[in-house]
Amino acid sequence: MKVQETARILANDWVSEEYFKIRLTCSSDYKDAVPGQFVTLRLPGQEEPLLRRPFSIHRLLTAGENALQMEILYRVVGGFTRRLSRQAPEGLLDMLGPVGHGFTVSSHEQPVVLAAGGIGVAPLVFLAERLKHAGTDMSLVTIFLGGLTKTDILCDEIFSGQGAKVSVATEDGTAGVKGLVTDPLNHWLEKNSPAMIYACGPHAMLKAVGAIAKSRDIPCEVSIETLMACGLGVCMGCAVSAGDTEKGYRHVCKDGPVFDAKVLV
C-alpha cells in the first residue's frame, strides 16, 4: 500500500562531489518495503517541479518501537536535486511510496553478485541488508562498483562492513581497476558461478550485465532508472521497450523498476 505523507528532514549531508544523503522520518508502513522500490518526492508549497521525482530507498533504519527513518542517496543533476541538497534539517518533504516492484530477496546458498554503476548503488545497500536478514552468508556476496572516476564510487565501506567482498572499476583508473564494471565481473565469472546477479545503473551497463548473465545462463534482475512523469502507470513517461509483451513495452514505474534482465536483452 502506498502512503502519501509529509516527511521531516532529519539530516541532509554532503557525501562527495555532487552526492548527498538525506535522512527522513517515514511511516511504519515501510517496514514491508522491498529493496528496489522507490519513493516520489516534492517540496511542499513549491510549484516547481510539477512532477514528483523518483528516488530509491537506500536504507530503512529502526528508530524506536514502530518508528522508521529512511535514507536516500542522491546525485545533484538538475533543478529538483539541487534544491533538495539545500534543504536543512527540520524541513519538510511531500513523499509518496513505496512504489513499484523490487528485487527478489531470498537466502542464497551459492555466491551472489550485486553490480552497480554510479548512483545505481543506492538501492543495493538496502538489498544487501535484506539479503543478510534473509539468511544469506555475506561472505558469498560480491559487489562490483563502477563509475567514471573515484568520486562515483560510493558505499564500498558499508558493503565491506557487512562482510561482502567489493570490487571497484573506474573508467579513468583513479580507483580500482581501470575499465568498465563489466570487466572485473567477466573476469570473476570465469571462476565463479553465482545463483543470481542483481544490478542497477545506467541503461547501457544494465544491457551489458544482462547479456553476460544470459550468455552464462545466470538469473539476473536489473533495476531500470528512466525519466518518469506521473510515476503511477497512467502516462507513457517511463515506457521501455520489452519484446516479451503484446504491447512491446513496459512501464518502469508500475511493472518495475526491477525486471528480469531478459526484458532488456
List residues near ligand FAD by CB under 6 A: 38, 49, 53-56, 72-75, 77-81, 119, 122, 225-228, 257
Identify which of residues 124 and 180 has a Cβ nearer to ligand FAD in the complex.
124
Return the C-alpha cell found at 104: 527478489
**Binder of residue 211, out of ligand FES, ligand FAD, none (CB less than 5 to 8 A by kind):** none
Which residue is associated with the grid cell 517540496?
Answer: 43
**CB count, 10 Å around CB of 78?**
10
d(CA 259, CA 175): 30
| Cis status of the peptide bond prior to 257, with omega within 30 of 0 | yes
- Residue 200 CB, nearest distance to ligand FES (Å)? 18
**Binder of residue 235, out of ligand FAD, ligand FES, none (CB less than 5 to 8 A by kind):** ligand FES
d(CA 50, CA 94): 13
**Binder of residue 229, out of ligand FES, ligand FAD, none (CB less than 5 to 8 A by kind):** ligand FES
- Name the residue number minimizing CB distance to ligand FAD: 78
- Residue 53 CB, nearest distance to ligand FAD (Å)? 4
94, 197 in Cβ contact below 8 A? no
Identify which of residues 91 and 233 has a Cβ nearer to ligand FES in the complex.
233
Where does this chain bind ligand FES (CB under 6 A)? Answer: 228-231, 233-235, 237-238, 251, 253
- Residue 95 CB, nearest distance to ligand FAD (Å)? 13
Which residue is associated with the grid cell 544490478?
Answer: 199
Identify which of residues 189 and 258 has a Cβ nearer to ligand FAD in the complex.
258
Closest CA to 98 of 7, 219, 162: 7
Return the C-alpha cell found at 15: 557525501
